[in-house]
């Protein structure tokens, strides 16, 4: 019995089992087993053969993966937003490998990867699905392309495929402290009342992973699924934007309904509708900021800004300029929204905001 059959058997068992107090531990164990088999499926086989992947060198300030069913307009989107031409046609599976392009927006270079269409069962390796999903794991954001003319079941199918290979979309990492130990049994604590998971459940899940000595601290009320995610420790938490294409073929009421859903954007690649708003939303979701540098006695250099992530400190800015600069740092003068007055003299721990101007003074 191969891993795929075992996974299918456990999924059938979970579907058969009623959810109540008596069966919750049995379900918890099944979910733990399922997570174990799925992580085995993700790991490459021990044999020496090299798989055919489409690894693309990471470049630019951020990486965005375009994921969707075949023939929803991913290649058209890539050709419209970037200078790269990706073959687009009216039949499915026009794109057979990963095609990278670069979006130039507000001084940042955002790498956009046009991946082949995903079909149902991709997580098990159907239709090159595994390679597609492996590339998606390395991205900073997932752009899920959906066809506005088709039913919403596509979105649920894609989410399920990504969920089963450990990609969590628009979710935070569970606030659970977990550490394996050499001995001393299981030490379990929680800083809040637990309604969705108990100590007995945690113990059973850990036993199914053959872990008997560990320290567990729940800092928030989490489910057993979230605890399994923490134990397996190979989950990726990515922001995701749902892009509904082909809105020129549906009614305005339907467009309005889709546009009001969370994390959703409606566009038309053929008629170039709403693409500027999509880029704006992409910039927000990637949490990128621009920081401009200034030399003493000269105006700021607004042509060549540094592209960094939201929440960076002056130390990160110094490293971005030159790696030796942080060691010689004395103080910095900052103009912009992160200061109380301009220019403000700040230390190395000061947090920068978008479009700040900085002048670094060395020792």
Please state which of the four CATH numbers 3.30.70.3270, 3.40.50.300, 1.10.1740.10, 3.40.50.2300 is assigned to the domain occupying 62-86+97-170+236-285: 3.40.50.300
Separation of alpha carbons 344 and 13, rounded Å: 63
* 127 Cβ neighbours under 8 A, 6+ residues apart: 93, 116, 117, 118, 119, 121
pTM for the structure as a whole: 0.79
- pLDDT for the residue 357: 92
Domain residue spans in the chain? 62-86+97-170+236-285, 175-221, 288-362
pLDDT in tens, 120-132: 555 555 555 567 7
Of the pLDDT bands very low, low, confident and very high (cuts 50, 70, 90), residue 292 is very high
Query: End-to-end CA distance of the chain, in Å?
Result: 67
The H or E element that residue 329 is part of is strand 329-335
Q: What is the 3-state secondary structure (H, E, C) of 152-180?
A: CHHHHHHHHHHHHCCEEECCCCCCEEEEE
Q: Is 2 exposed, middle or buried (0-12, 13-18, 19+ CB in 10 A)?
A: exposed
Residues in the chain: 363
Task: Choose among 26, 1, 3, 22: nearest CA to 13.
Answer: 26
CATH class, range 288-362: alpha beta
* 24 Cβ neighbours under 8 A, 6+ residues apart: 201
Spell out the alpha helix ranges (H) of the chain: 3-16, 24-42, 74-81, 129-137, 153-164, 199-208, 224-232, 252-259, 275-286, 314-321
pLDDT in tens, 56-99: 777 788 888 888 887 777 778 888 888 776 666 655 565 567 77
- pLDDT for the residue 48: 45
Of the pLDDT bands very low, low, confident and very high (cuts 50, 70, 90), residue 22 is confident
Of the pLDDT bands very low, low, confident and very high (cuts 50, 70, 90), residue 55 is low
């Amino acid at each position: 019995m191969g891993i795929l059959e075992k996974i299918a058997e456990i999924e059938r068992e979970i579907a058969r089992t009623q959810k109540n107090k008596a069966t919750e531990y049995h379900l918890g164990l099944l979910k733990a087993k399922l997570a174990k088999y799925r992580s085995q499926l993700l790991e490459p086989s021990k044999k020496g053969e090299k798989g055919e992947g489409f690894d693309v060198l990471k470049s630019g300030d951020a990486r965005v993966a375009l994921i969707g069913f075949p023939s929803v307009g991913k290649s058209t989107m890539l050709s419209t937003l970037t200078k790269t031409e990706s073959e687009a046609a009216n039949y499915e599976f026009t794109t057979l490998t990963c095609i990278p392009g670069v979006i130039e927006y507000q001084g940042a270079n955002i790498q956009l990867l046009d991946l082949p269409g995903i079909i149902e069962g991709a997580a098990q390796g159907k239709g090159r699905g595994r390679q597609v999903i492996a590339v998606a794991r390395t991205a900073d954001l997932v752009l899920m392309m959906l066809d506005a003319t088709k039913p919403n079941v596509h979105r649920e199918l894609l989410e399920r495929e990504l969920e089963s290979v450990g990609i969590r979309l628009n979710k935070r990492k569970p606030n659970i402290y977990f550490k394996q130990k050499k001995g001393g049994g299981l030490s379990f604590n929680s800083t809040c009342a637990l309604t969705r998971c108990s100590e007995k459940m945690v113990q059973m899940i850990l036993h199914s992973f053959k872990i008997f000595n560990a320290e567990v601290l729940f800092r928030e009320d989490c489910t057993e699924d979230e605890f399994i995610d923490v134990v397996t420790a190979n989950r990726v938490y990515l922001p995701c934007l749902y892009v509904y294409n082909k809105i020129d073929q549906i009614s305005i009421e339907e467009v309005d309904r889709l546009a009001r859903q969370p994390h959703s954007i409606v566009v038309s690649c053929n008629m170039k509708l709403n693409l500027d708003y999509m880029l704006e939303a992409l910039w927000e979701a990637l949490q990128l900021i621009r920081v401009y540098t200034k030399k003493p006695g000269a105006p700021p250099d607004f042509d060549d800004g540094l592209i960094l992530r939201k929440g960076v400190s002056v130390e990160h800015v110094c490293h971005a300029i030159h790696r030796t600069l942080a060691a010689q740092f004395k103080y910095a003068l900052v103009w912009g929204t992160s200061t109380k007055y301009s220019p403000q003299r700040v230390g190395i721990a000061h947090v920068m905001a978008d479009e700040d101007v900085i002048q670094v003074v060395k020792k």
